[in-house]
């Protein structure tokens, strides 16, 4: 199968690319020149697929610039059109050959009233990008699997727990109406509006009207966050909870979920003797990235450019 | 048999602007169907979409789109401005700084670490015993792989200053820098309750920067 893109059409719609300047005196490219730049991407560069306003993408791109490499940030639509995927004789060839960092959140839940054209185009681009990222032989951070573009992370925390081989810490209820608690198993029944993501403690309902997701948790829970990248893990606090081995447990979870990069949020018991996984974020925000950048940044370079002396 | 995408047929479905903001296009339809009141675009909801909440909110972004923060809606721009004006208190300023990239700039300029006086100050602080507070600062990320934090030149590939997370520098010798939780932590440090006792683990975590950040986004369940 060969997938081809129409270069003329691409040129008529300049991509929303942000590129870092090359180490030489090359001026910062304007949108009209980005098409040429992206077409010249090599395995010494990095393609970051993210929304145009993604702060982490900008942060990483600037970091690569500092170490003398070039990073190009493209949204999923233009990134998809960048690639040609050819399969011949049982092997795949993806061009251009460029390492990738994927920061593509799952698409929104689309109602019956949504524009089908937009939905169609998004899905087509994701499909093309999925193929390119899955088949390229160069490093891809959070490479999609053959099963799912977003790996095994689910919108349901309980389902993610199961996929990660973790015990499910609480019953999880999804409901179109405000869910009242049943048998109490913890201090507080928390209800989240799945549209606004606002979470309130029962019986105070969220401002919006649902649908809802609810779980038991502590009245004032505390968390530890572990950022994992390709076999290395960094905690975000220095609390004395080494006995919990959260970095080691996080590495195991990330491996089971098929992720390269993720931030794992663990709810730690008040006595510090237990921790339960409550969230896995394949797209850690800038705060988490910066808190662990001391180790994360150099390791990211080593992962993306394994052949070079970092 | 080879097949191709005829972009000439696909592209006209959306304008160039729509193609860049297709999520907003999708969400705008959802918003029309919603019974949500304008008051819901509150500061609290704005913070729920800050970086790091992607897993809980496929996005902060999608929520933002839902609120119309795609740049097309001036009303939402006002909301955002309110948030930055300090109506949410000091944390709001923190986020503004984050968005402004000020911290990022600080992280990169490395000025403090080029200044030998700062090294001396650092040493003095250590002798003063302040480094206990520094080391225990729950907001500082410490790699469990034990990277050498004491290497003056730091990582050969990291940006200057990256060896020391920015909030460590800003908090040096200044526990009361305006963050209520910092003061709380300073009190804990003064009484020797810095998280080394299992009973204090929760207090230590609760005072950490990452927990403050998560609380702004709402309880993670």
ipTM of the complex: 0.75
> Which residues of chain A make contact with B11, given a CB cutoff of 8 A?
9, 12-13
**Which residues have CB under 8 Å from B29's CB, separation 6+?**
A111, A113, A114, A115
CB nearest A295 (choices: B23, B52, B145): B145
- Those residues whose C-beta lies under 8 Å from the C-beta of residue A120, and which sit 6 or more positions away, are B13
Determine the pLDDT at residue B97: 46
Same domain, B77 and B115: no
Q: How many CB atoms lie within 10 A of CB A273?
A: 12
SS3 readout for B122-145 = HHHHHHCCHHHHHHCCCCCCEECC
Domain-located, residue B145: yes
In angstroms, the CA A234 to CA B126 distance is 25
Chain A residues closer than 8 Å to B140 by CB: 238, 291
Task: For residue A244, name the pLDDT band (cuts at 50, 70, 90).
Answer: very high
Residues B126 and B84 in one domain: no
Interchain proximity B135–A287, CB inside 8 Å = no
Measured distance CA(A273)–CA(B199) in Å, rounded? 10
| Residue of higher predicted confidence among B163 and B87 | B87
Residue with the bigger pLDDT between B152 and B124: it is B124
Give me the pLDDT at residue B23, please: 66
B188 with B110, same domain: the answer is: yes
Q: Evaluate whether residue B206 is within a structural domain.
A: yes
A115 vs B4, B26, B220: nearest CB: B26
Is residue B119 located within the same domain as residue B200? yes
Cβ-contact A160, A253 below 8 angstroms = no
Token pair 């509150």 in the structure block, residue: B42
Residues B108 and B190 in one domain: yes
Angle made by CA atoms A250, B220, A290, in degrees to the nearest 5: 60
* CB contact at 8 A, A173 and A213: yes
Q: Do A238 and B13 touch (CB under 8 A)?
A: no
According to the model, what pLDDT value does residue A151 have?
Answer: 72
Q: Which domain holds residue B82?
A: 7-89
Determine, yes or no, domain membership for B213.
yes
Contact between A197 and B205 using a beta-carbon 8 Å cutoff: no
Q: Which of A295, A296, A297, A303 to mutate to test the interface with B (most CBs of B within 10 A)?
A: A295
When mean pLDDT is compared over A30-34, A88-92, B50-54, B111-115, the highest value belongs to A88-92
**What pLDDT, on the 0 to 100 scale, is given for residue A295?**
93
Mutate to test the interface with A, among B205, B213, B216, B218 (most CBs of A within 10 A): B205
Distance, in Å, from the CA atom of A23 to the CA atom of A21, rounded to the nearest integer, reads: 6
Q: Give the domain-ending residue among B89, B120, B141.
A: B89
In a domain, B97, yes or no: no
Highest mean pLDDT among A80-84, A146-150, A205-209: A80-84
Average pLDDT, whole number, for chain B?
A: 46
Split at pLDDT 50, 70, 90, the class of B25 is: low
Q: How far is B156 from chain A (nearest CA, A)?
A: 8
Q: What is the pLDDT of residues A248-261, one digit of tens each?
A: 999 999 999 989 99
- Are B109 and B213 found together in one domain? yes
CB pairs under 8 A between A and B: 311
Cα separation, A109 vs A174, in Å, equals 15
DSSP structure class, residue A127? H
CB-CB neighbors (< 8 A) of B202 in chain A = 222, 268-272
Residue B108 sits in the same domain as residue B207: yes
Tell me how far apart the alpha carbons of residues B129 and B115 are, in angstroms, rounded to a whole number. 22
Q: What is the residue whose two structure tokens read 């009303």?
A: B75
8 Å CB contact between B55 and A283: yes
Q: How many domains is chain B partitioned into structurally? A: 2
- Is the Cβ pair B198, A278 closer than 8 Å? no
> End of a domain among B89, B118, B148?
B89
In the predicted structure, residue B217 carries a pLDDT above the cut 80 = no
Which positions ≥6 away from A45 have C-beta within 8 Å?
A69, A70, A71, A72, A98, A99
The C-alpha atoms of residue A115 and residue A112 are separated, in whole angstroms, by: 8
Please, which residues have CB within 8 angstroms of residue B202's CB and are 6 or more apart in sequence? A222, A268, A269, A270, A271, A272
Put simply, the answer to whether A118 touches B18 (Cβ < 8 Å) is yes
Q: Does residue B79 sit in the same domain as residue B118?
A: no
- Tokens read off for B208: 């950490």
The last residue of one of the domains, among B56, B89, B122, is B89
- Which sequence spans correspond to the domains of chain A? 2-149, 157-217, 222-303
**The Cα angle at residue B32 between residues B31 and B33, in degrees rounded to 5:** 90
A195/B163 CB distance under 8 A: no
Tell me the pLDDT tens digit for each residue of B112-134. 444 444 444 444 444 443 433 33
Do B208 and B124 belong together in one domain?
A: yes
Q: pLDDT tens-digit profile of A13-68?
A: 334 445 444 333 333 333 333 455 555 888 899 999 998 889 999 999 999 999 99
Of B50, B214, B221, the CB nearest to A215: B221
**CATH entry, A222-303, from 3.30.530.20, 3.40.190.10, 3.30.470.20, 3.40.50.2300:** 3.30.470.20
Enumerate the residues of chain B whose CB falls inside 8 A of the CB of residue A268: 201-202, 205
Distances A73 to A31, A37, A55, A262, B182 between C-alpha atoms, Å: 12, 11, 11, 20, 36
CB A44 within 8 A of CB A64: no
Q: Per-residue pLDDT for A72 more than 90? A: yes
Average pLDDT over residues A197-225: 87
- C-alpha–C-alpha distance, residues A38 and B156, integer Å: 28
Nearest chain B CA: its distance from A172 CA (Å): 9
């Amino acid at each position: 199968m060969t997938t081809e893109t129409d270069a003329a059409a691409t040129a008529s719609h300049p991509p929303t690319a942000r590129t870092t300047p090359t180490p030489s005196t090359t001026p910062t490219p304007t949108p009209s020149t980005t098409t040429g730049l992206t077409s010249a991407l090599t395995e010494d560069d990095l393609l970051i697929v993210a929304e145009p306003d993604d702060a982490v993408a900008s942060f990483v791109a600037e970091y690569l610039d500092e170490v003398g490499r070039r990073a190009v940030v493209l949204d999923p639509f233009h990134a998809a059109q960048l690639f040609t995927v050819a399969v011949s004789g049982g092997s795949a060839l993806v061009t251009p050959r460029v390492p990738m960092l994927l920061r593509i959140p799952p698409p929104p839940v689309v109602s019956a009233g949504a524009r089908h054209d937009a939905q169609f185009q998004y899905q087509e681009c994701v499909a093309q990008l999925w193929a390119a990222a899955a088949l390229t032989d160069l490093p891809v951070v959070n490479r999609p699997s053959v099963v799912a573009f977003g790996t095994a992370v689910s919108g349901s925390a309980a389902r993610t727990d199961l996929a990660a081989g973790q015990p499910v810490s609480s019953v999880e209820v999804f409901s179109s109406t405000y869910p009242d608690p049943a048998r109490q198993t913890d201090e507080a029944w928390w209800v989240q509006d799945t549209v606004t993501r606002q979470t309130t403690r029962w019986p105070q309902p969220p401002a919006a009207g649902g649908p809802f997701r609810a779980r038991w948790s502590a009245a004032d829970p505390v968390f530890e966050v572990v950022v994992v990248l390709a076999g290395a893990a960094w905690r975000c606090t220095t609390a004395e909870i080494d006995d919990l081995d959260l970095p080691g447990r996080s590495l195991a979870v990330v491996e089971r979920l098929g992720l390269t990069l993720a931030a794992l949020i663990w709810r730690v018991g008040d006595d510090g003797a237990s921790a339960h996984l409550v969230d896995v974020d394949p797209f850690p925000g800038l705060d988490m990235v910066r808190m662990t950048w001391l180790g994360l940044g150099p390791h990211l370079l080593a992962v993306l450019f394994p052949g070079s002396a970092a | 048999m080879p097949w191709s995408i005829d972009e000439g047929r696909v592209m006209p479905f959306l304008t160039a602007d729509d193609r860049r903001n297709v999520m907003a296009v999708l969400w705008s339809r959802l918003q029309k169907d919603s019974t949500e009141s304008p008051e819901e675009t509150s500061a609290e909801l704005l913070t729920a979409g800050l970086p790091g909440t992607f897993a809980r909110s496929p996005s902060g972004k999608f929520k933002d789109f839902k609120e119309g923060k795609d740049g097309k809606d001036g009303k939402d721009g006002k909301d955002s401005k309110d948030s930055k004006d300090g109506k949410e208190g000091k944390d709001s300023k923190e986020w503004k700084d984050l968005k402004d990239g000020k911290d990022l700039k600080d992280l990169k300029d490395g000025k403090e670490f080029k200044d030998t006086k700062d090294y001396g100050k650092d040493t003095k602080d250590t002798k003063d015993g302040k480094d206990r507070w520094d080391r225990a600062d729950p907001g500082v990320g410490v790699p469990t792989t034990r990277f050498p934090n004491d290497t003056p030149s730091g990582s050969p590939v990291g940006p200057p200053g990256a060896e020391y997370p920015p909030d460590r520098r800003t908090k040096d010798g200044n526990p009361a820098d305006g963050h209520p939780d910092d003061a709380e932590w300073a009190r804990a440090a003064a009484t020797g309750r810095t998280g080394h006792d299992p009973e204090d683990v929760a207090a230590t975590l609760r005072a950490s920067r990452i927990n403050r950040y998560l609380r702004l986004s709402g309880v993670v369940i």
